Amino acid sequence: MGIANSTGAIKSSSGETQTIWGGFNMKIFIYVIVALVIEFIVIMYAVKAKQYIIIAIFAPLSLYIFITYGILWFGPNGPYSKTTVQWPPSINTCPDFLTAYTASPKVKGCVDTIGVSRDPSAFPKLSSSGIPNWGTKGAPTAVIGDTTVAKDLNSTGFFPIILNETASDLCARLQSAQLTWEGIWDGENCYGGDGSVTSGGGKSGGSCGT
């Protein structure tokens, strides 16, 4: 068993490695850069040629055109608006401020080494021994696929990662442990795999891959 860094790239249930840039829309970034370059070149030319009337006409007109087409192309219904968004987000492989921990070869999860849970009795900080409080049962060795079983482990200070867990079940576990996870559960809202937001509870749909 051991502890590893909780941030960085993760693998989805399909085995594909996801990075922090997985949901970034590069096309709109390029569009903005191109627009700024065009603005700069034309304005600099007009200044050197002392054609200030060109600046007076070009600047507001070009700005209007770039904004109009930007909304048209990259707005909610635009052809370039959609990006591939992985869920859970690949920013963290564990809930906020928790650290990855391997309980056994088939059971991986996260532990709290600094005391971030708003209810330490629900999800205690890892003790000085560096081992969750397994009690007499010892560390789990079989793959955990049941949310109820996983939730029962909260009291040990171990938060297991369940492959293909639904958004609603994961949010319920986070709420029970009084933890947050950026892009999934902020303490009040549950963010589904389809980008939807459910206030005060989970939404069925979306899956949690590791």
91-134: pLDDT as tens digits: 578 999 999 999 999 999 999 999 999 999 999 999 888 899 99
**Is 143 domain-assigned?**
yes
Task: Answer yes or no: is 20 within a domain.
Answer: no
How many CB atoms lie under 10 A from the CB of residue 65?
A: 11
Q: Looking at the predicted structure, is the pLDDT value of residue 7 above 80?
A: no
Q: What is the pLDDT of residue 89?
A: 53
For the segment 42-48, the average pLDDT, to the nearest whole number, is 91
- Which residues have C-beta within 8 Å of that of residue 169, sequence separation ≥ 6? 147, 162, 202
Same structural domain, 60 and 125: no
Tell me the mean pLDDT in the region 13-20. 37
Query: Does 115 share its domain with 59?
Result: no
Query: Could you tell me if 44 and 107 lie in one domain?
Result: no
| Positive/negative CA dihedral, 183, 187, 193, 195 | negative
69/156 same-domain check: no
Q: Work out whether strand 158-160 and strand 165-166 pair parallel, antiparallel, or are unpaired.
A: unpaired
Predicted confidence at residue 18, as pLDDT, reads 36
Same domain for 69 and 107: no
Residue 82 lies in a domain: no
For residue 190, report the phi and psi dihedrals to the nearest 5 degrees: -105, 125
pLDDT at 204: 39
- Whether 158 has a pLDDT exceeding 80, the answer reads yes
Domain boundary (74, 89, 108) is at: 74
- State whether 151 and 104 are in the same domain: yes
* Total domains present in the chain: 2
Are 124 and 176 within one domain? yes
- Above 80 in pLDDT, residue 189? yes
Average per-residue pLDDT in the chain?
79
Q: Are residues 47 and 107 in the same domain?
A: no
Same domain, 39 and 107: no
Q: Is residue 6 part of a domain?
A: no
- Which range of 17-21, 112-116, 180-184, 201-205 scores highest in mean pLDDT? It is 112-116
Residue 153 included in any domain: yes
Residue 81 domain flag? no
Q: Is residue 87 part of a domain?
A: no
**Residues 129 and 182 grouped into a single domain:** yes
Contacts of 183 (CB under 8 A, 6+ apart): 87, 88, 89, 91, 191
Residue 71 pLDDT > 90, yes or no?
no
In this structure, the answer to whether residues 51 and 116 fall within a common structural domain is no
Is the pLDDT confidence value at 28 over 50?
A: yes
Q: Domain range spanning residue 147?
A: 99-208
Does 7 fall in a domain? no
Per-residue model confidence (pLDDT) at position 93: 82
Same domain, 103 and 191: yes
